[in-house]
Amino acid sequence: MELHFEELLAQITDFIKTEANTETVVGKQFELGEFICVPVIKVGMGFGSGGGEGTEAKGSKGEGMGAGAGMGIEPIGFLVTRGDEISFLEAGKTHGLAAAFEKVPDMIAKIAESRQKEKETV
């Protein structure tokens, strides 16, 4: 059994070129008012292969080979431009008013703790 690694690698490379891009994962760049947003992704991949052969006591011979690959693609954010300014906005992170609302429970707890300490010192 013969495994052609060069052909396999060429096929994997072609697959990555066509599938592992931002347009496939999250879409093309877009405009939002005066902002231009460009999606950014993270790609991870791994490859493995192995093979072996052996002969039984009866004289029969066997061999085997195998190969595998895995790939993960994850959107991580957007490059956002406005005029000459460029910034990175992380995906999954809240910003602005939404971030403020997420902090409200912590703020209330700190205020209550502070008031309790004031009562204890008086």
Mind listing the pLDDT tens digit for each residue in 71-111? 787 888 888 888 888 888 887 765 555 555 566 666 677 77
pLDDT of residue 13: 78
Answer yes or no: do 20 and 73 share one domain.
yes
Can you give the residue range of the structural domain that contains 97?
93-122
Answer yes or no: do 70 and 29 share one domain.
yes
Provide CB contacts within 8 A for 61, sequence distance 6+: 53, 54, 55
User: Coil, strand, or helix at residue 42?
Assistant: strand
Answer yes or no: do 72 and 99 share one domain.
no
Q: What pTM was estimated for this model as a whole?
A: 0.46
Answer yes or no: do 120 and 73 share one domain.
no
Residues 12-22 have pLDDT tens digits of 778 777 777 66
Residue 3 pLDDT level (bands cut at 50, 70, 90)? low
Element (H, E) at 11: helix 5-19
Nearest of 30, 12, 116, 33 to residue 79 by alpha carbon: 30
**How many domains would you assign to the chain?**
2
Token pair recorded at residue 59: 């004289």
Dist CA 40 CA 43 (whole Å): 10
Q: Is the dihedral of CA 17, 21, 24, 25 positive or negative?
A: positive
